[in-house]
């Protein structure tokens, strides 16, 4: 197999190293942004030059971002090239179009590395579905926020924990996608595509991040002998889908309560296997590159997802901790008033929660409380 590599940053360099150590795969071209980056005779700043390499079979996209990555991937598909990508943001925004192009041009679209880093999450979802129907997925999908929450739990301030994450390379200088939960939303979209065979519009998936978490939440968790994790969730309840992202209060007996720092932990529930879990490095160049190379080596024996549009019904129910700027005494679903500006809800649907919190500037922090 002959491979062209788009991008040679943290992940791309590791992909190059792993593939160069193999005899069954050859990298024939590497796209870089600037001529100053060129330190390999295979490197070029011209996508057209890369695309026209003789006998090139697979384009591996490790650039990140939506553009120009999407335009390059689209053009490569039209030239009948298989695609392997780690780019969750591009996929979340353009999956339907890329999936359609893959079918029309009889090429593969692979994205194992886009969810869970080195954890073979997408592969395991396909494998489980040979026998089972997946009913639920959930877990810690973002290493940056898990690192921050672990540090916060151990006594660091939120600001210091974020700074430490940035210094250690776990967080970008602009951490918005991580701490506001958008990164997990992309991963939930791709997990729903793989497990439930549905595509949801990004805006239909409620996201509650950790930007406004405070010592009050940590104190409450400690009092309850619980821990807080930012969780991505997906339920298929007889065709009623509930996909959402939310900080979650977990009992310390829960397997995910001991998943610390940048580690990810992902679980799914299926009809005969019941619950199965996968824990491993969710970020970093080497784990992500491992997943990319696994996809390269799996071509062309690939699963074909039939995807249909769906509505995020948000029918799943739960209890929720809600901290406000000023207590809303008229809220219809208060079960308990925790303090002067925080309530615990009765069991309500996610739709009820979303209707109440969406656009409500009085809301500071929301988390789900697992019993």
pLDDT tens by residue, 122-174? 999 999 999 999 999 999 999 999 999 999 999 999 999 999 988 887 788 89
How many CB atoms neighbour CB 286 within 10 A? 16
Catalytic pick from 81, 88, 89, 187? 187
Strands 363-369 and 240-251: parallel
Residue 42 Cα distances to 26, 124, 332, 337, angstroms = 11, 34, 64, 64
Tell me which residues of the chain have a pLDDT lower than 50: none
Question: In this structure, is residue 295 part of a structural domain?
Answer: no
Q: What three-state secondary structure class fits 54?
A: coil
Question: In this structure, is residue 21 part of a structural domain?
Answer: yes
Same structural domain, 351 and 244: yes
Residue 165, burial from CB neighbour count under 10 angstroms (0-12, 13-18, 19+): buried
Per the listing, tokens 């209060």 go with 249
Is residue 252 part of the annotated active site? The answer reads no
pLDDT of 302: 53
pLDDT of 247: 98
Per the listing, tokens 């898990």 go with 146
Same structural domain, 129 and 234: yes
pLDDT of 345: 98
* Separation of alpha carbons 99 and 184, rounded Å: 21
Domain edge (last residue) among 62, 77, 110: 110
pLDDT of 173: 87
Q: Which two tokens stand for residue 115?
A: 């969810």
Same structural domain, 138 and 82: no
48: left (phi over 0), alpha (psi -120 to 50) or beta: alpha
Sequence-separated (6 or more) residues with CB below 8 Å from residue 94: 66, 70, 74
Angle subtended by helix axes 88-104 and 69-78, to nearest 10: 10
pLDDT of 168: 83
Same structural domain, 319 and 364: yes
Residue 198 pairs in a beta bridge with 308
Same structural domain, 243 and 137: yes
Same structural domain, 102 and 134: no
* Separation of alpha carbons 121 and 282, rounded Å: 10
Alpha helices by DSSP H, 32-181: 47-51, 69-78, 88-104, 121-128, 143-153, 158-167, 176-179
Same structural domain, 263 and 190: yes
Nearest to 140 by CA among 227, 211, 232: 232
Domain containing residue 105: 2-110
Residue 222, burial from CB neighbour count under 10 angstroms (0-12, 13-18, 19+): exposed
Domain edge (last residue) among 110, 144, 166: 110
pLDDT of 98: 95
Q: What CATH number has the domain bearing residue 64?
A: 3.40.50.720
Same structural domain, 142 and 43: no
Distance of CA 244 to the CA centre of its chain: 12
pLDDT of 300: 73
pLDDT of 308: 85
Q: What CATH number has the domain bearing residue 169?
A: 3.30.360.10
pLDDT of 230: 98
DSSP summary character for residue 87: -
Domain edge (last residue) among 110, 135, 151: 110
Number of separate domains in the chain = 2
Longest dimension (CA), the chain: 69
Same structural domain, 100 and 145: no
Sequence-separated (6 or more) residues with CB below 8 Å from residue 131: 272, 273
Sequence-separated (6 or more) residues with CB below 8 Å from residue 249: 220, 221, 224, 226, 227, 228, 321, 367, 368, 369, 370
> How is 280-313 classified by DSSP, letter by letter?
EE-SSHHHHHHHHHHHHHHTTS------EE--B-
Could you tell me the pTM of the whole model? Answer: 0.94
Same structural domain, 36 and 163: no
Same structural domain, 218 and 249: yes
* Cα angle, residue 350 at apex, residues 115 and 183 outer, rounded to 5°: 25
Same structural domain, 164 and 41: no
Q: What three-state secondary structure class fits 292?
A: helix
């Amino acid at each position: 197999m002959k491979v062209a590599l788009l991008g040679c940053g943290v992940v791309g360099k590791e992909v190059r190293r792993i593939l160069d150590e193999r005899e069954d795969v050859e990298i024939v071209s590497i796209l870089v942004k600037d001529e100053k980056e060129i330190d390999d005779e295979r490197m070029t700043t011209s996508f057209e030059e890369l695309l026209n390499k003789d006998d090139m079979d697979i384009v591996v996209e490790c650039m990140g971002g939506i553009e120009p990555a999407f335009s390059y991937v689209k053009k490569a598909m039209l030239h009948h090239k298989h695609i392997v990508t780690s780019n969750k943001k591009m996929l979340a925004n353009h999956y339907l179009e890329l999936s359609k192009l893959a079918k029309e041009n009889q090429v593969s679209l692979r994205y194992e590395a886009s969810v869970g880093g080195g954890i073979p999450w997408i592969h395991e979802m396909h494998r489980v579905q040979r026998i089972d129907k997946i009913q639920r997925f959930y877990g810690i999908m973002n290493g940056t926020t898990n690192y921050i929450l672990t540090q916060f739990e151990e006594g660091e301030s939120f600001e210091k924990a974020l700074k430490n994450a940035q210094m250690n390379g776990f967080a970008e200088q602009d951490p918005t996608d991580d701490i506001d939960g958008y990164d997990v939303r992309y991963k939930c979209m791709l997990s729903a595509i793989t497990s439930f065979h549905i595509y949801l519009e990004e805006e239909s998936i409620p996201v509650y991040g950790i930007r406004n978490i405070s010592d009050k939440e940590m104190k409450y968790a400690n009092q309850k002998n619980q821990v807080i994790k930012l969780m991505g969730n997906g339920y298929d309840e007889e065709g009623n889908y509930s996909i959402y992202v939310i900080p979650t209060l977990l009992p310390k007996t829960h397997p995910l309560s001991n998943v610390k720092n940048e580690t990810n932990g992902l679980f799914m529930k299926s009809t005969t296997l019941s619950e199965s879990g996968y824990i491993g490095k969710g970020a970093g160049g080497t784990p992500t590159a491992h997943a990319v190379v696994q996809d390269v080596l799996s071509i062309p024996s690939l699963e074909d997802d039939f995807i249909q549009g769906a509505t995020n019904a948000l029918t799943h129910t739960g209890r929720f901790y809600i901290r406000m700027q000023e207590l809303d005494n008229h809220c219809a679903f208060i079960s308990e008033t925790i303090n002067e500006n925080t309530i615990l809800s009765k069991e309500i649907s996610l739709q009820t929660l979303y209707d109440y919190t969406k656009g409500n500037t009085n809301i500071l922090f929301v988390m789900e409380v697992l019993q």
